[in-house]
Structure 1
Amino acid sequence: MRALVLAGGAGTRLRPITSTSAKQLVPVANKPILFYGLEQIRDAGVTEVGIIVGDTAADIEAAVGDGSALGISVTYLRQEAPLGLAHAVLTAADFLGDEDFVMFLGDNLIEGGIGDLVASFERDRPAAQLLLKQVPDPERFGVAVLADDGTIERLVEKPADPPSDLALVGVYLFTSAIVDAARRISPSARGELEITDAIQQLLDDGQTVRASRVEGWWLDTGKKDELLDANRIVLGTVTQRIDGDVDQDSTVTGAVVVEAGAVVTGSVLRGPAVIGADARIVDSYVGPFTSIAEGCVVTRSEVEFSVLMQGCVLTDVPRIEASLLGREVRVSRGARRPAAHRLLLGDHSDVELAEGS
C-alpha cells in the first residue's frame, strides 16, 4: 500500500498567514499540521508516500525533505492547478500504479490514527473505504447517504440542501479502481474533478464502497478558529517537560513544555502550553492552550489560547487571546501621543480591538 497526501491547496481561508506559506505547515502545538498526518500514515505501516504540491512546493519540500526524518520515503508530485481531489489522483496515477492507497488531506487532524482503518481495508478490500463524521454544518463538506445496511448509497459534494449530516473526513482508502473512475467523470460546476463524483462512479459501476465512522475528534484546520481549536485539543495531550531555563522567580503550573534553549524569567506559565526552542518569556503571563514557537520573544505581556509562529515579538501588550500570529509578527504598546492604534496589515488581515481600548 502507498499513501497520497494532498498539500497543494492555496489555503485562502487562513489568509494572510497562508499568503506567504503553505497552510499545511501552520503549526499545531508547534508542529506543522502536515506532520501529524504523515506520522499517522507511517504508524499504520505505510512508508511510500506521494505528496501533491502546488505553488507552495518549495516550502513543503524544505520542511519534509526526503521524509527520512519521519520514517517515510517521499515522492513529490506537482499538480498543475488545484483542480479537485480526483484530479490529484490522476496526477499521481504513475506513482500509484496498481497499488492500493490511502489518501490523506494534509490540513486534517483525526484522533487515534488510521491503523485500524488500514487493517480493515486490507482485510476486506472494498473498492473504497471512507471515513465519516457527523457535523453540524454538512453544507461545507462532501456528505454521504447511507443505506439501511450501513453501506454508502450516494455522495453529494457541498450540497445547498444536505441529504445527511455525515461529512466525508479527509481520509480515504482506495484500490486502483478509483483511477479509472476518475478518468470517466466530468468537471463539476466548480470546474473541479470531485472525488465524490469519482466515488459515485464506483457505486454506479456496482463496486463496494464502505463507510467507517470517526468516533473521536476530527479537525479540519482551514480557518483560524478551527486551527485554534485543534491547537487546544492537541495541547490537551502533552505532559510537562522543562528542557529550557526557567528561573526561580517564575511559576509553572500544569502541562507546560519548555523546549531546550528557551529562557523564562519572572513569568507565569499555565498549561497546557508549549514554549519553543530559543524563545524568551520575560515578566509575562502565558495562559492555557497557547503555543509559542521557536525564537519568539514575549516581554511584559499576556497571551492565552493563541498560536504564535516563529520569531513573533510581543512587547508591553496587556492581553492577547484567541489569536493567530504569523511568522516575525511584532506587536507592541506605544507611549506616543496622541494615543492611537498604529497598524501595518497585509491583505486579508483580521483585527478585533477590545471595547474601550
Structure 2
Amino acid sequence: MKAMILAAGKGERLRPLTEILPKPALPVGNSPLLLYTAAFLRAAAVSEVGINLHHLAPHVRQVLGDGSQSGLQITYSYEPTLLGTAGGIKQLEPFWGQEPFFVINGDTLTRIDLGKLRDFHNRVGSALTLALREDPRAPSFGLVGVDEEGRICRLCDHKRHPEKPAAAEYMFSGVHLWEPEILSEIPAHVPWDFSRQLFPHLLQRGFPLYGFPVDGYWNDIGTPQRYLDTHWDLLKGEFSRPGLPPMEPGSVVRDENSEISPTALLKPPVLLGAGCSIGENATVGPWVVLGPSVRIGAGARVTRTVLWSGASLDPETVLEGAIVASRSRVPRGRHYRKLILTAGSAGELLASPFKNS
C-alpha cells in the first residue's frame, strides 16, 4: 500500500522550536518523529510513501532520505506556496494510482491498528474513512458525529449540538484512508483544506464518508505541552523508540558513554542520550529526557523537562517543565519554568512562553 505523510506545515504553536526544525523532524525520545511514523506505516504493510514539503524542507529529507533504511520508497513533493492539507495530496495525484491509500498528519504519533481501519473501509464501501477516537479533548480538536452504521453525519464541530443528535461523537485522529476517486474532487494548484473545504464538499456531494473508532496509543505534538506529554508517555512505556523495546515504567535508561557523578541523583523515569555528562550533586528527574551530549552542571536540578542534543546547564540551574533546544546554554543559577529555551544568533539564551498548551 501507499501512504501520505503531511509534513509541509509551519508549526506556528511550537515556535521557536519550529524555527530550528520542522514539526515532523522534532526529536521524541532523541529520535525524529518521522522515524516513528515511518516504522508505524511499514508495520502496516505500507511500502511507498508520499511526503509534502515546504517549511524547512531539507530537514525533512535529511531524516528519511530515500526511505531505504526504513524499508520504504519515498516520493517528495515540494510546495513553493502551501497548498493546504488536501491540496498537498492533490499535487501528488499521479503517484497514487488506483488503489486506496492512508493519510497521516506529520505531527501525529500513534500505534492504532491500520489493518482494522482498512478492513472496515472495504467492508462498508467507504470513499474516505476517518480513524476516530474517544477522547475528552474532542471538542477542542473538532467533533465528528457518526450514525449507527458509522457513516459521518457531522464534521469537525468544536461544540456539541443536542438539537442535531448523532449516534456517537468522536475526535478525528489525523489518520484516514482514501479511495483515489476523491482526488478528482480537489481543485488543482490552489490551497484546499480537509475540514473547511474537502470534507463538507464530499458530504454535500453524497460521497460515503465513514468514521471508525480505534484503540491504541495516540498523541500529537502540536503544542509545547503536548510535545512534553508525548515524552512522558514514552517514559511510561506506552510506545517505544524505533527499533527498541518499550521502557519499563519507573526506569532510568542510559545510552552509551554517559558520565554521571557518583553524587548525582537520577529520579526515574529518565532517559539519557549517548555522551551525557551530569555533574556533582545534580538532580535529574523525575520525567526528564536528555539528548545526546547534554551537559548538566554541578548542583543543577531538572524535572519534567526535555533537553535536545548538545544543550548545557551551568551549575545551580533549575529547570521545571521546560524544553531546551540544541546548543542552548542556560546560565548559572537561573530558574526557568514552563518555557522554551533556545540559543540566539549571538549565543545568548532566549526564553519563550508556551503557546496554546
**Bin for the TM-score computed over the shorter chain:** 0.7 to 0.9
Counterpart secondary structure, 2:186: helix
Q: After superposition, what is the alpha-carbon deviation per residue over 1:220-254, rounded to whole angstroms, capped at 9, x for unaligned?
A: 211111111010011211899xxxxxxxxxxxx94
**TM-score (structure 1 length as normaliser):** 0.82
Residue identity in the other structure for 2:94: D
2:339 maps to what in 1? none
Cα deviation, residue 161, structure 1: 4.3
2:341 maps to what in 1? none
- Taking the aligned partners of 1:26 and 1:239, their CA distance within structure 2 comes to 17
Paired residue total: 324
2:9 maps to what in 1? 9
Q: Percent identity?
A: 29
1:222 maps to what in 2? 222
1:298 maps to what in 2? 296
Counterpart secondary structure, 1:295: coil
Q: Does 1:257 align with 2:261?
A: no
Q: After superposition, what is the alpha-carbon deviation per residue over 1:268-314, rounded to whole angstroms, capped at 9, x for unaligned?
A: 22322211112212222221321111111112212121110110001
Q: After superposition, what is the alpha-carbon deviation per residue over 1:24-71, rounded to whole angstroms, capped at 9, x for unaligned?
A: 121222122222121110100101011111121101111111112212
Out of 338, 350, 353, the residue aligned to residue 350 of structure 1 is: 353
Counterpart secondary structure, 1:183: coil
Residue 317 of structure 2 contacts residue 330 of structure 2 at CA under 8 Å; is this kept in 1? Answer: no
2:187 maps to what in 1? 183
Change (3 A) 1:87 1:57: same
**TM-score (structure 2 length as normaliser):** 0.82
1:326-341 aligned within 5 A: 326-333=325-332
- Taking the aligned partners of 1:282 and 1:239, their CA distance within structure 2 comes to 30
1:157-168 aligned within 5 A: 159=157, 161-163=159-161, 166-168=170-172
Q: After superposition, what is the alpha-carbon deviation per residue over 1:108-164, rounded to whole angstroms, capped at 9, x for unaligned?
A: 1224453432344356552111112244454543432212333211324xx464548
1:249 maps to what in 2? none
- Taking the aligned partners of 1:287 and 1:299, their CA distance within structure 2 comes to 14
1:11-26 aligned within 5 A: 11-26=11-26
- Taking the aligned partners of 1:207 and 1:137, their CA distance within structure 2 comes to 28
Change (3 A) 1:260 1:238: farther
- Taking the aligned partners of 2:137 and 2:116, their CA distance within structure 1 comes to 27
Counterpart secondary structure, 1:349: strand
1:245 maps to what in 2? none
2:244 maps to what in 1? none
Residue 316 of structure 2 contacts residue 333 of structure 2 at CA under 8 Å; is this kept in 1? Answer: no
- Taking the aligned partners of 2:265 and 2:333, their CA distance within structure 1 comes to 24
Residue 30 of structure 1 contacts residue 274 of structure 1 at CA under 8 Å; is this kept in 2? Answer: no
- Taking the aligned partners of 1:212 and 1:272, their CA distance within structure 2 comes to 34
Greater Cα offset, 127-136 or 69-78: 127-136
Structure 1: give runs of 5+ residues left out of the alignment. 241-252, 336-342, 352-357
Cα deviation, residue 180, structure 1: 1.2
Cα deviation, residue 88, structure 1: 1.1
Change (3 A) 1:178 1:107: same
Out of 249, 267, 270, the residue aligned to residue 267 of structure 2 is: 270
Counterpart secondary structure, 1:89: helix
- Taking the aligned partners of 1:298 and 1:133, their CA distance within structure 2 comes to 40
- Taking the aligned partners of 1:160 and 1:123, their CA distance within structure 2 comes to 30
Q: Does 1:80 align with 2:77?
A: no
- Taking the aligned partners of 2:111 and 2:260, their CA distance within structure 1 comes to 32
1:354 maps to what in 2? none
2:174 maps to what in 1? 170
Residue 17 of structure 1 contacts residue 326 of structure 1 at CA under 8 Å; is this kept in 2? Answer: yes
Q: After superposition, what is the alpha-carbon deviation per residue over 1:144-203, rounded to whole angstroms, capped at 9, x for unaligned?
A: 2212333211324xx46454852211111101022112239x98xxxx412133233333
Change (3 A) 1:113 1:37: farther
2:311 maps to what in 1? 312
- Taking the aligned partners of 1:15 and 1:68, their CA distance within structure 2 comes to 31
Cα deviation, residue 320, structure 1: 1.2
1:45 maps to what in 2? 45
Residue 86 of structure 1 contacts residue 194 of structure 1 at CA under 8 Å; is this kept in 2? Answer: yes
2:285 maps to what in 1? 287
Cα deviation, residue 2, structure 1: 0.5
Residue 267 of structure 2 contacts residue 284 of structure 2 at CA under 8 Å; is this kept in 1? Answer: yes
Counterpart secondary structure, 1:45: coil
